[in-house]
Amino acid sequence: MAPVPSVRLLILGKQGAGKGTQCARLARHYAVPHISTGEMFRAAEKSGSEFGQELARYMRVGDLIPDELVVAFVVERLQRDDAQRGFILDGFPRTANQADALAKMLDPLEIDIAIDLQVPTEVVLQRLASRRVCRECGFNYGVGVPPKVDWTCDLCGGEVVERGDDTAAAIERRLKLYEKETEPLVVWYLTRDKLVVVDGVGDPDVVTARLIGAVDRRLRRTPGEGTQK
């Protein structure tokens, strides 16, 4: 059996585009860690630490967390042993400043590919309104993947509730912030010949196959080839 290639990958896309689900699948496929800043921040918030409380204030209203806080978190995570042969970033970078910080962090290495997982806003709104999270272990349930027993986590038996950052007001604010602050990342990576656009609508297995195909094509490409889309 051929060895699994190392990969340094990040996923862009609106909240609710399915990034978390697909990143977890890609992480298993390529045997690298799925690094979700959202999950890291929610764990910090749950810890009740001073840092966690500061993060909670931003998350409750749907504001973007300041770059310096996010970058410090990611720097520490990427320095761990399990991320040395690759990783899949979910939720970072969110701004051009964060993309610059990531590039400096990795130098002389680079991101292999930045995937823009595209899902229409109306689909995203339906997904976000349907998301739930276990109050105890933090496992997320999305549209089409509910817990087997209503309001009870399949993993730990904890109570499954609406995510605190998925209120209607917070959802609307996050999507507006995405349009203003995050979409320029598409241009940032496009100009560096790192961007691949993948359709995120459809059965999760089909979307996973699209993503793996896009990543594998990029890993096989030679200098001078155009960006795969």
- Total of domains in the chain: 1
Backbone angles phi, psi at 15, to 5 degrees: -55, 135
Strands 34-36, 87-90: pairing is parallel
Note if the pTM is more than 0.85: no
Q: Is 141 helix (H, G, I), strand (E, B) or coil?
A: strand
> What is the pLDDT at residue 202?
92
Closest by Cα among 200, 56, 55 to 142: 200
Would 84 be classed as within a structural domain? yes
**Residues of the chain with pLDDT > 90: what percent?**
37
**Confidence band of 100 (pLDDT split at 50, 70, 90):** very high
Q: Residue count of the chain, please give it.
A: 229
**Structure tokens, 147:** 């817990």
Spot the catalytic one: 94, 132, 210, 218. 94
Spot the catalytic one: 25, 42, 127, 131. 131
Q: Is 132 a catalytic residue?
A: no
Spot the catalytic one: 19, 25, 77, 127. 19
Would 149 be classed as within a structural domain? no
Q: What's the mean pLDDT when you consider all of the chain?
A: 83
Q: How many other CB atoms are found less than 10 A from the CB of residue 229?
A: 9
Spot the catalytic one: 14, 25, 127, 163. 163
CATH number at residue 64: 3.40.50.300
Q: Is 85 a catalytic residue?
A: no
Q: In the predicted model, is pLDDT for residue 142 greater than 70?
A: no
| Cα dihedral 8, 14, 15, 21 sign | negative
Return the CA Rg of the chain.
17
> What is the pLDDT at residue 61?
73
Q: Is 131 a catalytic residue?
A: yes
Would 30 be classed as within a structural domain? yes
State which residues form the domain around 87.
8-131+166-220
Most confidently modeled range among 90-99, 115-124, 136-145, 199-208:
199-208
Would 146 be classed as within a structural domain? no
Q: Is 104 a catalytic residue?
A: no
Q: Is 19 a catalytic residue?
A: yes
What whole-number distance in Å separates Cα of residue 228 and Cα of residue 220?
A: 11
Would 193 be classed as within a structural domain? yes
Q: In the predicted model, is pLDDT for residue 47 greater than 60?
A: yes
> What is the pLDDT at residue 164?
63
What whole-number distance in Å separates Cα of residue 146 and Cα of residue 222?
A: 43
What whole-number distance in Å separates Cα of residue 88 and Cα of residue 103?
A: 15
**pLDDT per residue over 159-193, tens digit each?**
887 766 666 777 778 788 888 877 788 899 999 99
Would 225 be classed as within a structural domain? no
Q: In the predicted model, is pLDDT for residue 116 greater than 90?
A: yes
> What is the pLDDT at residue 227?
40
Would 139 be classed as within a structural domain? no
What whole-number distance in Å separates Cα of residue 113 and Cα of residue 12?
A: 11
**pLDDT per residue over 192-228, tens digit each?**
999 999 999 999 999 999 999 999 999 886 443 434 3
Would 60 be classed as within a structural domain? yes
Spot the catalytic one: 25, 77, 132, 174. 174
